[in-house]
A and B are shown apart, each in its own frame.
Chain A
Amino acid sequence: NAGVTQTPKFQVLKTGQSMTLQCAQDMNHEYMSWYRQDPGMGLRLIHYSVGAGITDQGEVPNGYNVSRSTTEDFPLRLLSAAPSQTSVYFCASSTLGLGNPYEQYFGPGTRLTVT
Chain B
Amino acid sequence: QKEVEQDPGPLSVPEGAIVSLNCTYSNSAFQYFMWYRQYSRKGPELLMYTYSSGNKEDGRFTAQVDKSSKYISLFIRDSQPSDSATYLCAMNVNQGGKLIFGQGTELSVKP
Contact = CB atoms under 8 A, between A and B. Distances in A.
Interface of A: 4, 31, 33, 35, 40-45, 48, 50, 58, 90, 92, 94-96, 100-104, 106-109
Interface string B4-21: 101010000000000000
A108 B42 CA distance: 5
A95 B102 contact: no
Bin the interface of chain B by size.
Answer: 20 to 34
A58 B43 contact: no
Contacts of B49: 100, 102-103
6 contacts: A33-B98, A40-B8, A41-B103, A42-B6, A103-B49, A104-B99
Contacts of B95: 101-102
A85 B97 CA distance: 24
Nearest to A31: B97
Contacts of B65: none
Given A90-B43, A103-B46, A109-B43, A42 B88 contact: yes
A48 B94 CA distance: 15
B25 interface: no
B99 A45 contact: yes
B34 interface: yes
Nearest to B41: A109
A87 B8 CA distance: 18
A4 B98 CA distance: 17
B73 to A, nearest CB: 17
Nearest to A59: B100
Nearest to A103: B46
